[in-house]
Structure 1
Amino acid sequence: DGLHWTTAFASNPLLHGVAYGNRHCLGVGDNGTVLISDTIADSAPVILGQPQSHTLAAGLPVTLGINAQSRLAIAYQWLKNGAIIPGATNSTLALSAVQAGDAGQYTVQVANGQAAVVSNPAWIEIAAAGPTNSPVARWQSLPTAVAGTNDLFSIAGGWSQGFYSPNSTIAVVGAGGTGFSSANAGPWTSDFAPTTNGIAGVVCGQAVLPFLGAQPTFVAVGGDGTILTASIDNWGGLTWQPQTSGTTNFLERVTFGDGLFVAVGDNGTLLTSTNSTDWVPRDPGTTQNLLGAAVGTVNSNLVAVAVGDSGTLLTSTNGSDWSGQGTGLTNDLLGVSFCAGQFVVVGVGGTILTSPDGVTWQSRASPVASDLWSVASAVGYLVAVGADGAIISSPDAVHWTAQVSGVSNTLYEVTFAAGAFWAVGDTGTILRSDDVVALRWLSFPNALLGLTAPPAHFYRLEATGPLEGVNDWLWQTTVYAPSNSPPETPMFVPDAADSAPRFWRGVQLP
């Protein structure tokens, strides 16, 4: 195995070289010495890649596979729960539409006529559908000719004030410099992205610009250290401009929170910026690939978290100095978000971790075994997505329910934008949940908000914080007001003078 060695032959004179061929070893050395070994028996096949477990909804396709090597011809035989599957004698096992009866443990025997080995077990689990009355239980696919069949890696939503009304913009990025957007629920349009590098991450945040202050700005990152930025024009459109990152490493993800942009990438690359154009390299204390980052506010203080390969988890309280946190995990951690006042990490094999402060972490049970790539939250919902079209949701980051996405492609990112959750993935996949909340714009002082309600009841009016590109928006109580007859009585909103777009709702009091 290259690790454990045994003396097999001691020679005099000195030997200088050895080669293998035709089931013999040949050694050569001083004084014309040539030595040949006995015939070496063929060994068992070597498994280079094991079959992987999958959790997916009924009716979706899945393929199990193994990668094995041998000098002799290899024969395969798949087994389910220890019993031979008739006719399953290839290196792959394809199930076109899984059903409940397909759930179980799968292994494959690999033989070469001399010896045989059996793979590690792989499990197929059928995800139970969550409650259908939840908006995050109903997803629709949104194919677009703009995306084609390119893999889509990231999606983000942003808001800006246009000439006549606020604009809502959604941006999607992916392989080969793919970039397109939709303004105000309009058609998808291809954006000019001045790069052919793969773009792996995009976020909308508030860049602090000279003379302008904080402005909504999209930032995208990708191959060869690519960083692109785009402001939102008066009609919600985007025009991308390249920025200097100072690195050629692949940048995997970018995030924004508490006034700080953080970009992470391969070989321990970690960059920060407050204005989206000037990026400062930071020392994370690791060379592991960093795959995700999040910034939140804990007890009125900034806390940032970055995650990556082999269980890597880093925290910072200023964005400049980073320290590792021991999780005891060796699984790759693929994504992190600041959700509903806590950090939520997802990763390989359905890994879910939560923390109130970025330091103390607790593992949570996942209803799926698929790799989870991304997690997002908004107004009382948390949603995570991953391999095999996996979508899971939670009201509290503790109790998770599998949902049916209707696709088997890997979903790489989920975000909340324009009143719904969105997910993107392989081969141009774009999914949208049902509306989670209805959008109302209040952009002038002393605004009036109409509520349909029976008379003689009291209501609490709640609103989110300003929608500034951060996908962790929480309901906040703003005012109490009585609802008198007739229904549709306007409710007075006295503190709406900041012109920030928000979500609003009325909640009946007992």
Structure 2
Amino acid sequence: MKTRPHITLSLIAWKFLPLLLLACLATPTADVRAQSPNSIAGRTFQLTISSGSFPLASSGSYRFLPSALDSAYAIVPISGSIAASSGTHTYTKTGLNTASLALADSVGGALTVNCTFSTANSGSFVLTRSGGGSQSGTFFLFSGTSPASLAGYTITVIVTSGASPYASTGSYQFLPASSGSTYNIVGISGVANSSGTYSYTRNSTMTGYISYNDSIGGSGFTDTLSFDSATTGTLFLRKSTAGGYQTGTFTMAAPTSPSISTHPQSQTVAVGSSVTFNVVASGSGSVAYQWRKNGSNISGANGSSYTISNVQTADAGPYDVVVSNFVGTATSSAATLTVVSQTAPSITDQPVSRTVRVGQAVSFNVTATGTAPLAYQWRKDGTNLVGATNGSYSLPTVGTNHAGSYSVAVNNGAGSTTSAPPAVLTVNAATPGTVVAWGHNHLGQTTVPAGLTGATAVAAGESHSAALRADGTAVSWGDALYGQSSVPAGLNGVTAIVAGYYHTVGLKNDGMVVAWGYNDNGQTTIPAGLSGVVAIAAGNYHTVALKNDGRVVAWGNNDNGQTTVPAGLSAVMSIAAGGYHTVGLKNDGTVVAWGDNAYGQTTVPPGLSGVVAIAAGERHTVTLKNDGVVVAWGLNNSGQTTVPAGLGGVASIAAGVYHTVALKHDGVVVAWGYNNYGQTTVPAGLSGVTAIEAGSYHTVAVVGTGIPAPTITMTSAANNMTLVWPNTATGYQVESTLNLLAPVLWNTETGSFQTGIGTIGMVLPVTGTKKFYRLTKP
């Protein structure tokens, strides 16, 4: 059963047996004139046993807790083997320094004993049972002063012990909801919330009682809580219709008058506008508000705020608010409302028509005069644009769907005007060799540098981006906190570029690797003697290189084994690096992965083969098969591994933290997964893309002059091998070389062509000499 809102005392078990005799003997004191109280009606006193014999406890303590104005009490265990009990008492003052207390106990039956007090507050006692056995110890008489009324008090109860139907431990509060007759019982721990009514009786200067009716216990649930002092004490709670009790402690917080922490502020507004005054106040119980103007109440203005719509000059003046509760009132400082006449808005600088290409940024601006505040609403083709309510309107990544006519309406309380003629936005196809970026742009990672052209490849990190130009130079932008977007001066001859979380890596045409940016894990410290590199990849805090002999080298953070290349791994033709894992593609079309596998990102699906490209996200892995189909696995919290149904004809892939991107052979980009920053919303009209990359929460693409270069795969049978590529890539020839060290000499192969379902192939003899092959257009 849930605990009830009762105040209890700490108790122990003691059973009175019939005809016990209690004699309280004085503890020797220096002042023999100390007076016994005139009455102990309603007062609590405690006995502490120091010695005793059967059948009484030999040690322990208990309390006499008055539960009525004078004659009734409860015996509450504090410690030792003493049982809770109840009974009646009578008090007789026998002299200046002495008094006797007659007790009748419910456990012991018709029990009558006498206790003599020799001082007002404390002394010693001896309890003798006529049938044998005795106890001796000390007593203490509580003398705290109870408040005259508990109306509005907040009472916190902490239960330290108890028995069914009450909780044995827990805490709750009495929270008055009005002047004192209603309250909420709020369970803080181990106690159910409840509600009900209570009344307070102060029977003497020393004690008071709360009687209450509780909604959980039912209409018949009534009991009393006894207070020893004004603010703190111990408690005993018992339900009259059931056994069990609670003991513990309580504290009381007196009710407070309202206090205003935030006063209404003076304001100046124009005729026709609206104005709101606010106040923040607190106090015991329910707080009421009454707003005033010039000291007179405003009808219906009874909330913590007061609003005037369509302000007129007659509304000018001082406003304040009176805050009240059952304890008292508080009045705010006055806030002055000043009302000024308005001038209708007039546009002095109209928005200007613009022509941009897909992927570029554009802004429209207007300048207007008139009485502030001015409100703006931008429109496209006459329809309001949601959230476009400033003096300018910007599109960070333009698509063909943004083409149209733009205007803006400016208004205030005095009138409205609309820009004219509309500003026309013309959107053309992206220029070949330019970069388009979209998604999160908090550090400028999707703001492509103006004039960037000649791009052939891109890279994307956590909050920075990079592009590789056809002339072998690199450009980077976005976050530069660790120097990750600061390309080393004079760097040229770059053939590939990749980006980690906060670092960037470039591969030069001499097979050497260059890296810059964050290096706390050694990810930009190139291993000594590393050369002959043909491919690179970058994870969050590690870097990977593929050598021309098919071996993989990795360095940087290795907390999850991402740089521990599997022993004996060889014949690798492509690599990818995720957040904390690494992936390799072997020349037989199979995939190997190692490092973090918390979400299965390194568990390659059984039987996966025919893979021609790989990509790795934060915690997922993506592969592209030779039939243009994408396969993905690992973490899928945002749908990043759920490949769109029917997706085919894919030429390349990329993976971000929680999103995935695919580039089709026709130059169209498809993206899926997490899209809170628009990273999977491909700009409308974007086409002719030749390269893609995915950053943490953004996507970057290169617009080229044709379709993406096809991927070539190899199969072998008997003494022949067949090189295969998609049939959408026509007009290509096969070239080979014996090694990839500069200068590389490529020779044209003259094998026989053959066609398959969706593919073109060339059959060549296996000669036993190692060769590298590529597709080129004459």
TM-score, normalising length: structure 1: 0.28
TM-score, normalising length: structure 2: 0.20
Greater per-residue helix proportion:
1
